[in-house]
């Protein structure tokens, strides 16, 4: 038997129904916030990602040479493609330009629950300005999407990469040395970060200050005890979020993020029920356009790990159950088969989800099948009832049956 590749998944019709439901819920919410959907290719020139995304992403990239000798990569994320698209074609659009996307990404990671080699992101980017308004608008959308998903337990932690970068650079650490230190601090691997900071020439007092800064986590008023440009910016972001009515957010000055392109605010959302792979969303502000041949434009964005959020909702037991199949139509005899098809055709035209016996089964077996596929009603097309212009409608949940005239059927089912 040929198996699917490691780290990939197939989805059943039931799973796809749930996935489409949440996809569309997220689309509607993003549109409510004034964002518009874009789509970009699944593969890009590898260079798009090697330029700035950082070593983590590059190590995990699905890259190959195509028949024309070009270095191609399956996209590991959608921020760099969005910015490439912007530089190529969207620079004349009014700003801020507010876009969102949904699609699969590929990373050669060690697969486990919540971590796949092919996974889906729902994300958004606001292109235009580096001010707190933009950041709050983007964090606000992420917060509203997650609230709308029905997930109950999660934490939104917001920091500013400028705080740690500022401390490193005023201690004389150059950006190339700072990147590996930040990666260790991101994972809170202090025993590994400390020797790197010593090698970079930082004093013990500065190292302690940096480590304790990454441990500033809690309500936004924690910021009152600190000062500086990055802290002031963060305070304004929290103030606007409060205006928007978003108060379930906290400060975390230890948020660094795994990608290298962030320059300003950075934020993450965790769903603790997921254990090791608990991060369901990550984002921040950055500027990539100048690397891709455009003018420098600041942006803020995020991506929700669509698979992880669905996993978390399922773990919490709050996946909504839906079935669009309202009616399953069963003829009681050979003579009634064409009438059954006519009823299904009519129901479908009227927008009622309907299906019909295709296996020439007995009424009893058809009732079992209708139950197994989750139909809400069975419509029994019998000769006697048909002669009176009626069918029997059976509610599968309650077992109740009633006679309904053909002309009233759509109304009765709706
Ligand atoms: P990221 O943190 O690398 O950020 O990915 C965003 C989210 O995708 C993660 O929080 C996680 O939920 C999900 N994710 C990542 N890798 C996997 C995987 N192997 N399996 C399942 N889910 C995964 C970005 O990609 C940035 N482009 C976000 C962004 C947009 N920043 C600014 N704009």
Contact call for residues 288 and 314 (beta carbons, < 8 A)? no
Give the distance (Å) from ligand 1 centre to CA of residue 381.
Answer: 52
Give the distance (Å) from ligand 1 centre to CA of residue 300.
Answer: 14
Give the distance (Å) from ligand 1 centre to CA of residue 304.
Answer: 7
From the CB of 281, is ligand 1 less than 6 Å away?
A: yes
From residue 253, give the alpha-carbon distance in Å to each of 40, 134, 173: 33, 19, 19
What is d(CA 186, CA 173) in angstroms, rounded to the nearest whole number?
17
Which tens digit of pLDDT belongs to each residue from 300-353? 999 999 999 999 999 998 777 666 789 999 999 999 999 999 999 999 999 899
Which ligand 1 atom sits nearest the alpha carbon of residue 117? Answer: 19
Whose CA is closest to atom 13 on ligand 1?
305
What's the confidence (pLDDT) of residue 260? 81
Q: Does the predicted model carry a pTM greater than 0.85?
A: yes
What's the confidence (pLDDT) of residue 323? 67
pLDDT at 12 over 90: yes
Phi and psi at 182, nearest 5°, equal -60, -35
What's the confidence (pLDDT) of residue 319? 73
- The whole-chain average pLDDT of the chain stands at 94
What's the confidence (pLDDT) of residue 203? 95
Give the distance (Å) from ligand 1 centre to CA of residue 77.
Answer: 7
Contact call for residues 380 and 392 (beta carbons, < 8 A)? yes
What's the confidence (pLDDT) of residue 14? 87
From the CB of 303, is ligand 1 less than 6 Å away?
A: yes
Which tens digit of pLDDT belongs to each residue from 118-174? 999 999 999 998 999 999 999 999 999 999 999 999 999 999 999 999 999 999 999
């Amino acid at each position: 038997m040929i198996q699917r590749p490691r780290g990939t998944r197939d989805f059943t019709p039931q799973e796809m129904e749930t996935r489409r439901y949440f996809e569309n819920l997220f689309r509607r919410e993003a549109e409510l916030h004034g964002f518009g959907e874009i789509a970009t290719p699944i593969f890009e020139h590898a260079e798009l990602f090697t330029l700035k995304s950082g070593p983590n992403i590059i190590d995990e990239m699905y890259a190959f040479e195509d028949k024309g000798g070009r270095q191609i990569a399956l996209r590991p994320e959608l921020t760099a493609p969005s910015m490439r698209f912007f530089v190529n074609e969207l620079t004349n659009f009014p700003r801020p330009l507010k876009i969102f996307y949904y699609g699969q990404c590929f990373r050669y990671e060690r697969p486990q629950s919540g971590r796949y080699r092919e996974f889906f992101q729902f994300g958004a980017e606001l292109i235009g300005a580096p001010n707190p308004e933009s950041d709050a608008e983007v964090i606000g959308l992420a917060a509203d999407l997650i609230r709308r998903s029905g997930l109950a337990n999660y934490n939104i932690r917001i920091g500013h990469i400028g705080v740690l970068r500022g401390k490193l650079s005023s201690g004389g650490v150059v950006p190339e040395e700072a990147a590996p230190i930040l990666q260790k601090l991101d994972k809170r691997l202090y025993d590994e970060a400390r020797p790197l900071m010593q090698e970079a020439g930082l004093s013990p007092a500065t190292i302690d200050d940096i480590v304790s800064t990454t441990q500033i986590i809690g309500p936004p008023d924690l910021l009152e005890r600190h000062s500086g440009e990055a802290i002031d910016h963060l305070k304004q972001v929290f103030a606007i979020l409060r205006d928007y009515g978003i108060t379930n957010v906290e400060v975390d000055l230890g948020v660094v993020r795994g990608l290298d392109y962030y320059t300003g605010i950075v934020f993450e959302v965790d769903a603790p029920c997921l254990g090791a792979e608990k991060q369901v969303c990550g984002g921040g502000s950055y500027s990539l356009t100048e690397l891709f041949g455009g003018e420098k434009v600041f942006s803020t964005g995020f991506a929700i790990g669509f698979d992880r959020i669905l996993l978390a909702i399922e773990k919490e037991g709050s996946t909504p159950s839906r079935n669009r199949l309202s009616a399953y139509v069963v003829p009681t005899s050979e003579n009634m088969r064409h009438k059954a098809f006519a009823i299904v055709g009519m129901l479908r035209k009227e927008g009622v989800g309907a299906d019909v016996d295709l296996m020439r089964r007995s009424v009893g077996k058809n009732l079992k099948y209708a139950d197994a596929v989750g139909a809400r009603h069975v419509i029994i097309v019998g000769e006697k009832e048909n002669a009176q212009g009626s069918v029997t409608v059976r509610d599968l949940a309650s077992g109740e049956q009633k006679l309904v005239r053909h002309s009233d059927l759509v109304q009765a089912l709706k």
